[in-house]
Amino acid sequence: MDLPLYFSQYFNIDSDVLDQYGAFDISVVSDLPLFIDPFLLFNSENPTYQNLHEEILRYLRFLRDQAAHNLDAGSIDAWYRFKEVKQNWLGFTLFGNSGAGLGKEFAVALHGALGDMFRDFGRETVTRGSHLEKLCLIRPGVGKDNISDFTANLIKAFLCEYTQIFARKYLSQKDCEVFAVSRVRFNYETRTWVTGRYYLPRLRNDFVLLTPTDLLTRDDTWINYSDMVSKFRLLPDAVSNIEQRSRINQYFARMLGDEDRTAKKQREAVAATINKFPELVDLYIKLQEDNGSRAEADSARKVKEAYQALVLQLQQALVELTSKTEFYQKPWSSYRECLERVQYFKAYIENNDGYRLFNRNGKPFSNEKDLQLAFGLVWCGSEFDINREVNNGRGPVDFKASYGAGDKSLIEFKLASNTALKRNLQKQVQIYEAANKTRTSVKVIVIYTAKQERGVKKILHELGLEREESIVLIDARSDNKPAASTA
């Protein structure tokens, strides 16, 4: 089966060419869970990256200077709100690349922060530099996806030029064209965004952008809220004023209390203390700056793991599924065929070394998002209408396969380690079936250990579902399978 899932396959170039150029081999059917970390720009010795970081700070200083004014809605939209740079195919959209972008909530949070806790942005005395990521430390609801989207928008001209150079050198003319790309540079004299024209790879009806691998990370930015909370105990000791240090420790102890010192209570006490003493935020950022050499190594390791699991392993899986099973020969036309295709996939995982597909860097996937992404990329060969994370009113279901209004099947993916598995089997998919007006669904449970297998079978027994054909258990254990070549 000829199914181009990745940039190198779609544009018929060797993936080593991308690697030597320094670009990540992105998927062209679904976002990969990677994003740009602005700290990697700040901490880089590459002059180009340092200039990019300075341009980001210049724009934020411009916004800081406007924060004292009551801006009209038009200015807020023009200066603070951005669409996702979906053409880089990075982020958290499952089965596609159209994310939400930076909306009103982010705009209000940034404008407000620049008017109070960011008043000294660009004039810091504790840290070596200024950091956009500070926003996610002091404003709830601002996460890594917001920071990455904002960064990608502010370096969009660089991404266009970076891709244009590659396209002119390595790609066929028939695969490229000149595109007008909006909002690539900000004109500080007119206070407006400027459109640029670039020679870029054409992907269906849109262009595609490459991103340097050394700007990417996953899981979280180097400067992030959960890390600050975990390192909170180090922060008061960094306060030079003894009296202030004592006040901070006393306040934290009062917020924590003498009883019920649960993890949740500790997080709440940390949040209250940081809110009371915001100088702790700068001390945390300085700590991260001082350990910045680890940021590049950690990000490189995470990106390598993602490439191994979501690119190399998946490419091998496609080859094996095509040659060893009838997986891609089965049509999507009804529940029966849907279930049969799941059974082919189960056989591949359990009998043809396919279990490696559900492992990342030799370890089982620990979250269902990665599991769903890997599975969804494999199933992209279908000509059926397959949607991911469809939300029809009662919450998202992993997959919905449909052929017209009268023939729909739902597929719900779960890890056996999910603590809500029993409740899910009892209620969740039935709710989804009603919302999507279909009576057919398949529940797939992925098992990684013998203990998990015993637990799942116990749940099925308690619910009287041992013989339910629509519940498919996939044994992805690595400790009970000889290599296919020696089995």
- 89 in the Ramachandran plot: left (φ > 0), alpha (ψ -120 to 50) or beta? left
Q: What is the pLDDT of residue 181?
A: 96
Mean of per-residue pLDDT scores for the chain:
82
Residue 393 is predicted with a pLDDT of: 42
φ, ψ of residue 27 to 5 degrees: the values are -80, 145
Dump pLDDT digits (tens) for 227-260.
998 899 899 988 888 999 999 999 998 888 877 7
Q: Which residues are within 8 A (CB) of 88 and not within 5 positions of it... i.e. 6 or more apart?
A: 26, 152, 159, 208, 209, 210, 211
Per-residue pLDDT of 31-61, as tens digits, reads 888 989 999 999 999 999 999 999 998 998 8
Residue 449 has pLDDT above 80, yes or no: yes
What's the pLDDT at 64?
A: 83
The pLDDT of residue 130: 83
Q: Where are the domains of the chain?
A: 7-222, 225-290, 325-475
The confidence band for 351, taking pLDDT boundaries of 50, 70 and 90, is confident
Cα–Cα distance for residue pair 429/38, rounded to 1 Å: 40
Model pLDDT for residues 401-424, shown as the tens digit of each residue = 555 555 667 777 889 998 889 888
Structure tokens at 364: 């089982």
d(CA 111, CA 109): 6
Written in H, E and C, the secondary structure of the chain is: CCCCCEHHHHCCCCHHHHHHHCECCCECCCCECCEECHHHHHCCCCHHHHHHHHHHHHHHHHHHHHCCCCCCHHHHHHHHCECCCHHHCECCCCCCCCCCCECHHHHHHHHHHHHCCCCCCCCCCCCCCCCCCHHHHHCCCCCHHHHHHHHHHHCHHHHHHHHHHHHHHHCCHHHEEEEEEEEEEEECCCCEEEEEEEEEEEECCEECCCCEHHHEECCCCCCCHHHHHHCHHHCHHHCCCHHHHHHHHHHHHHHHCCCCCCHHHHHHHHHHHHHHCCHHHHHHHHHHHHCCHHHHHHHHHHHHHHHHHHHHHHHHHHHHHHHHCCHHHCCCCCHHHHHHHHHHHHHHHHHCCHHHHHEECCEECCCHHHHHHHHHHHHHHCCCEEEEEEECCCCEEEEEEECCCCCEEEEEEEECCCCCHHHHHHHHHHHHHHHCCCCCEEEEEEECCHHHHHHHHHHHHHCCCCCCCCEEEEECCCCCCCCCCCC
446 and 358 Cβ atoms separated by less than 8 Å: yes
Residues 6+ apart with CB under 8 A from 30: 89, 93, 94, 95, 96, 97, 373, 376, 377, 380, 388
Q: How far apart are the first and last CA of the chain?
A: 26
Chain centroid to Cα 481, Å, comes to: 31
Q: What percent of the chain has pLDDT over 70?
A: 83
> What are the Cα distances from residue 147, in Å, to 40, 120, 151, 230?
13, 19, 6, 20
Asked whether residue 427 carries a pLDDT value surpassing 80, the answer given is no
Q: Give the pTM.
A: 0.81
Please tell me which residue, 102 or 309, carries the higher pLDDT value. Answer: 309
Residue 16: the pLDDT is 95
- Which tens digits make up the pLDDT trace of 355-397? 887 777 667 877 777 777 777 777 665 443 444 444 444 444 4
Predicted pLDDT at 428 = 57
Q: Assess contact for 115 and 107: CB atoms under 8 A.
A: no
Instruction: Assess whether pLDDT exceeds 70 at residue 179.
Output: yes
d(C-alpha 116, C-alpha 64), whole Å:
10
**pLDDT: which is higher, 466 or 216:** 216
Q: Model confidence over 13-29: pLDDT tens digits?
A: 999 999 999 999 998 88
Question: Phi then psi for 292, rounded to 5 degrees?
Answer: -60, -25
Where is mean pLDDT largest: 88-97, 261-270, 364-373?
261-270
| Alpha-carbon span 198 to 345, nearest angstrom | 42
